[in-house]
Structure 1
Amino acid sequence: MYKIGDFIIYGNNGVCEVEGIGAINISGVNKTKSYYTLKPVSENGKIFVPVDTSVFMRGIITYEEVQQLIKRIPSIKEIECKEKNARLLQVYYTKFLETHKCIDLLSIISSIYDKKANGIINGKKLCQTDEKFMKIATGLINDEFSIVLGIPKNDVQTYIKEKIEKNESKILIDDIKH
């Protein structure tokens, strides 16, 4: 069970803060049942969720896990999808989103980024499905990482880029020393 003040991932809503736990006073709702009152960090409003919901929920990752994920980004393999049909491409990306794992979100971002880079070389643009899932995956990563790192959401991508460059520089220096 989560506590008031905890940040959690709730379904496809991304990061939410637990603002309350207990019965809610809304007509038509079971007054004897306990609910989480959740506040999404990236939008206005509240979500009332039964404590025993079957919708996916997990605590946000730790600072150490963020650092490990950032170190892994350069070695994340592109997810192979040659699918051109927008509907099938959407189904494919949705499977990765539904795991609610940061590594899968980073795989989507990395794959679409590579696809975009190759498209620029060949004079092609990303399709709308790629753009849509890039936006979703990036938004989810930025929300979670910003809370964990204690930085504004808009600074997450810069933070990641600087960390990767620093790690790559450190590897080069270590290689020269040995």
Structure 2
Amino acid sequence: MFEIGDYVLNATNGICKISEIVELDMSGDKQLKSYFLLRPVEEENDRVYIPVDNADKRIRKVITQDEALAVLDRVPEIEALAVNNEKERETRYKEAVRSCEPDSVISLLKCLHIRNEQRAQAGKKSTAVDERYGKMAEHNLNAELAFVLEKDKQEIKDIIHDML
């Protein structure tokens, strides 16, 4: 599914390039296991190790240019993430960010946009949870779209913000 040289998205590290497959004993039980060695595009000196046997749960290939343009076309139609219970808010945010799926991330950003407007009208600031997940979601979405479309992240951010 993944090969050396592929660009992938990881919720924690953003866009990474698979640089090699290495055999490591990470558990200390002297059993070697295969890992993808990822190099984050924005932090080339960093190293991220993802087990090969469950990589599809932790990374996905970066979308194509056509897919990126289709995502931007869909922004107006994507529904805001519905959170019915304050206790589940952070869990729902975390699920959306970890999914690394553009539509889920946009749904989260729409939810946060609406929520921040409502809180501002009520004279309240945004919450720390809203800020944290909003930054993560925005960073990964903007980074991927900018990378694929060969644009500046700020330009992508402005385009999406205008659509929200």
Same fold (TM over 0.5): yes
| CA deviation after TM superposition for structure 1 residue 134, in Å | 0.6
* SS of equivalent to 2:141: helix
- Which has a greater percent of strand? 2
Match for residue 45 of structure 1?
46
Match for residue 83 of structure 2?
81
TM-score, with normalisation over the residues of structure 1? Answer: 0.74
Match for residue 137 of structure 2?
137
Match for residue 170 of structure 1?
none
| CA deviation after TM superposition for structure 1 residue 39, in Å | 0.8
| CA deviation after TM superposition for structure 1 residue 67, in Å | 1.0
> Does the CA-based 8 Å contact 2:10-2:100 persist in structure 1?
no
**CA–CA separation in structure 2 for the residues paired with 1:128 and 1:51:** 34
Match for residue 65 of structure 1?
67
Give the share of equivalent positions with the same residue, in percent.
26
- Two-structure CA RMSD over aligned residues (Å): 2.8
Q: How has the CA–CA distance of structure 1 residues 29 and 51 changed in structure 2, closer, same or farther, with 3 Å as cutoff? A: farther
* SS of equivalent to 1:98: helix
Provide structure 2 residue ranges, at least 5 long, that are not aligned to the other structure: none
> Does the CA-based 8 Å contact 1:83-1:89 persist in structure 2?
yes
Match for residue 5 of structure 2?
5
Deviates more, 1:118-127 or 1:135-144: 118-127
Match for residue 146 of structure 1?
146
**CA–CA separation in structure 2 for the residues paired with 1:76 and 1:142:** 17
Residues 18-47 of structure 1 show CA distances to partners (whole Å, capped at 9, x for unaligned) of 122344699x69796543210122335111
Q: How has the CA–CA distance of structure 1 residues 117 and 159 changed in structure 2, closer, same or farther, with 3 Å as cutoff? A: same
> Does the CA-based 8 Å contact 2:4-2:21 persist in structure 1?
yes
**CA–CA separation in structure 1 for the residues paired with 2:152 and 2:21:** 27
Q: How has the CA–CA distance of structure 1 residues 127 and 22 changed in structure 2, closer, same or farther, with 3 Å as cutoff? A: closer
Provide structure 1 residue ranges, at least 5 long, that are not aligned to the other structure: 165-178
**CA–CA separation in structure 2 for the residues paired with 1:31 and 1:17:** 26
Greater relative CO, 1 or 2 (CA 8 Å, sep 6+):
2
